[in-house]
Amino acid sequence: KTVYFNGSFMDKEAVSISPDDRGFLFADGLYEVIRSYQGVLFRPKDHIARLSHGARHLKLSRTDFSEFVQIAQVLLEKNGLLSGDATVYFQVTRGEATRSHAFPLNTPEPTVYAFASKFDALNGEKIKAQGINAITVADQRWARCDMKTTALTANVLANQAAVEQNAKEAIFIRDGVLLEGTHSNFMAVMDNVLVTAPLSNYILGGITRKVIVEFCERENIPLEFGPIFEKDVPSVQEMMVVGTTLEITPIVKLNHSPIGDGRPGRITKKLQALLKGEIERCQTN
């Protein structure tokens, strides 16, 4: 398997990361996951822009990652992933330095690691068609969820809680509001209006969410940025999680209770069709 590490493409086995790396010691770093369909990356520039946003706020010594688009393309090629679905993972940490909380005095080069993997599209299709079970959990994350940092302990624990309850995703609740999933944004249909949390420091600005917002504007689908309160869940018509890996996946049961009629809803299916069309359009451009 060919990966990218600090400026070079190499065999994965040849990668050596210092135990003093601040990614290892402090989770002091960022990551991105970009999807590719038949070798074509989906909205790579949006992912790179989000990485730059995080890097500026973390005050990393590097904030321009525009060359990552090319690196992602080479990783797909070198790993035989130009056909079918794949994902490319990027991680950037503050680099290697003697352990001390504050930034190192002699600014190290950020550590950069990237790899490409095949995506199980068949399973993805099944999940999108049938919908998933989800649970809710208290949001125990920090208050800068707009940065895609590798400090994912709260997300790991929440997703594990979901798996232990035979569910695929956990939705974080803060102050009575359902905000987003452990690796997805969250949307609901209430009174025939699609509702999702407004952008803030409490959610990640998802690329899939952004694409769906564009669809709603283009297709006149009623959309509102606002809170989805836990107390209003019983009257929700449809629910979905959206993201790079889950695309648009219906939630058909929340905390073991059916949502709507327990099947993927009308607006969810419409958005799924629009996303499919958008992916196909990217193939031919």
Residues in contact with ligand PLP by the rule CB under 6 A: 33, 180, 183-185, 204, 206-209, 243-244
Tell me the backbone φ, ψ of residue 271, rounded to 5 degrees. Answer: -65, -40
Q: Which is nearer to ligand PLP, 109 or 175 (CB)?
A: 175
Sort strands 132-138 and 169-174 into parallel, antiparallel or unpaired: parallel
Q: Which is nearer to ligand PLP, 22 or 209 (CB)?
A: 209
Question: In whole angstroms, how close is the CB of 244 to ligand PLP at the nearest point?
Answer: 3
Displacement of CA 60 from its chain's centroid (Å): 21
Q: DSSP letters along 22-90, please?
A: HHHHH--EEEEEEEEETTEESSHHHHHHHHHHHHHHHT-S----TTHHHHHHHHHHHTT-SSSEEEEEE
Question: In whole angstroms, how close is the CB of 207 to ligand PLP at the nearest point?
Answer: 4
Active site residues: 148
Question: In whole angstroms, how close is the CB of 33 to ligand PLP at the nearest point?
Answer: 6
How many angstroms separate the CA atoms of 66 and 59, rounded? 17
Alpha helices in 136-265 (DSSP H): 153-164, 207-219
Q: What is the DSSP letter of 209?
A: H
Note whether 137 and 102 are within 8 A (CB). no
Residue nearest to ligand PLP (CB): 206
Question: In whole angstroms, how close is the CB of 34 to ligand PLP at the nearest point?
Answer: 9
Q: Which is nearer to ligand PLP, 85 or 180 (CB)?
A: 180
How many angstroms separate the CA atoms of 115 and 151, rounded? 19
Q: Which is nearer to ligand PLP, 36 or 95 (CB)?
A: 36
Q: Which is nearer to ligand PLP, 95 or 115 (CB)?
A: 115
Question: In whole angstroms, how close is the CB of 131 to ligand PLP at the nearest point?
Answer: 18
